[in-house]
Structure 1
Amino acid sequence: MMRRTLATLAVTALPLGLLAGCGDDSADDPFEGKSPEEVQALVIEAMQDVESVRMSARMTSDGEALSLVVVLDRDANCDGSIAVDGAKADIKSDGEWAYLRGDEAFWAVSTGSEAAATQLMAMIGDKWVRGPAADFNDFCDLDGFLEEFNEDPNEEGGFEIGDVEKVEGVDVVKLTKDEPDEETGDITTMWVAAEAPHRVVKLVAEGGDEPGEATFSKYNEDVDLDLPADDEWIDLNTLG
């Protein structure tokens, strides 16, 4: 759900209906002379070449407030944290095993019972819980997230192409959808790097049922993992 929510924001920000009437004669327009299809292809190509990224996001999904910060790569290495309606957890994975350390509120949400969460915390203490990495694909699967960029974009409506501005210290071009998403009612705005490769730097969806904001940085940098030592984790299977 989380991966699809973020990727859907990005994909729907790349329709063939980009409006070409903004700054056709501007020397500052990095997409000058390019068709909407060419702009779309440039962004999708740039994202498909991504090997790792840092993602920071806040969103509402299925009525829940969710935030996350994570660095992840195509080898399923990841290191980050997530908060859902105030419940927090840290997650690390090396592609084979994933390690999770949550607060009592997180375990209450996970088990559906405050009493069970209290019992779990008594067993776990401040240790990590280890389980198969496949159980955390929605959080650590960069391949799965980037595959969403291969989906056909929503061709209904169009986008305004804005001027060059700065986001996170990067020169970007703002693309704003002129009609709300049919399913969520959100208006999507995307900022892509002005210089090649034209990767996504920021996404915002607002005004509908699933508002959210995400920023992307540290593309293709190594994921530096500091995994828990053997005496710092408990096997998930032992928790019953």
Structure 2
Amino acid sequence: MRRTVTLTALCLTAALGLTACNPTSEDGGELATKAMKATRGASSLHVNGDISDSESGKVRLDLSLDKKGECKGTMGLGDEGTMGIIRTGGVVYMQYDEKMLRTQSKGESKADVDAAVKMLAGHWVKMSPTDPDIKDLAALCDLKDLLSDLKGTDTAAKKGKDLTVDGQKATTLTEKDGKTDYTLYVAAEGKPYILKTIMKGGDQPGTLAFSEFEKPVDAKAPAKKDIVDLAG
């Protein structure tokens, strides 16, 4: 799981950035730079979509996060199940469905697995963001770190047609980096945020949509009755 979470963070950065270092095309390169600067400057956003991973299959994301390290959302790992995450006040709360618990407990006795499912499924597990089991996932909640490599300089992005993405007017940008073809949809009105990115080919194809820029992240600790504190 830790490898998949780390890969997801890398894919998010790659999905947001057109990185090929070639001469800029007229208009396209300039717009790409502006889009990445605007997106990098966002204090919060919501990401939703999926990225394929050779180890865990399709990684599904539905996550709101900000630069204060607050986040709330879910992540699905192929056929392994789904987990929820809330990070607030320096504490991480994880919620695993039964399928995820059983998948991650392979090799253990049926009695131990059944006991873990009974205790944890549907509940929130209170954990430290530095816990080795979730350290990479907790780091994914920090938008500042996630966007730190989003520079957008010297891209070979080509400007395409204008269209609408989730009700917002957008301009398309395309670029090829190695075996991966990127298509970015940039807001044509207001700040030029990246609204959507599609990656085809390469090792991690997928589609991610970005929204709710600058909106507060509603990351609140679960009710005490729903929390399991394994640290006692």
With normalisation by structure 2, the TM-score equals 0.83
Q: Deviations over 1:170-213 (max 9, x none)?
A: 11110111x3x32xx22111111113411110000012321110
Hey, what does 2:150 align to over in structure 1? 149
Which residue of 60, 63, 69 maps to 2:62?
69
SS at match of 1:202: strand
Q: What is the 5 A alignment of 1:188-203?
A: 188-203=182-197
Structure 2 distance, partners of 1:35, 1:4, is: 24
The structure-2 alpha-carbon separation of the partners of 1:100 and 1:162, relative to structure 1 and needing over 3 Å to count, comes to: same
Any gaps of 5 or more consecutive residues in structure 2?
1-6
Hey, what does 2:39 align to over in structure 1? 47
Hey, what does 1:221 align to over in structure 2? 215
Q: Deviations over 1:118-149 (max 9, x none)?
A: 33112224321110134332431211111120
The question of whether the paired residues in 1 share the 8 Å contact of 2:96 and 2:123 is answered with: no
Deviation at 1:95, TM superposition (A): 4.2
Q: Percent identity?
A: 22
Amino acid aligned to 2:51: M
Q: Deviations over 1:60-95 (max 9, x none)?
A: 123421101011111111110111113111111104
Q: Deviations over 1:19-52 (max 9, x none)?
A: 33xxxxxxxxxxxxx573x334312220221011
Aligned residues: 217
Hey, what does 1:6 align to over in structure 2? 12
Q: What is the 5 A alignment of 1:100-115?
A: 100-113=94-107, 115=110
Higher Cα Rg, which structure? 1
How large is the Cα RMSD of the aligned pairs? 2.4
Any gaps of 5 or more consecutive residues in structure 1?
21-33
The question of whether the paired residues in 2 share the 8 Å contact of 1:104 and 1:118 is answered with: no
Hey, what does 1:171 align to over in structure 2? 169
Hey, what does 1:126 align to over in structure 2? 122
SS at match of 1:106: helix
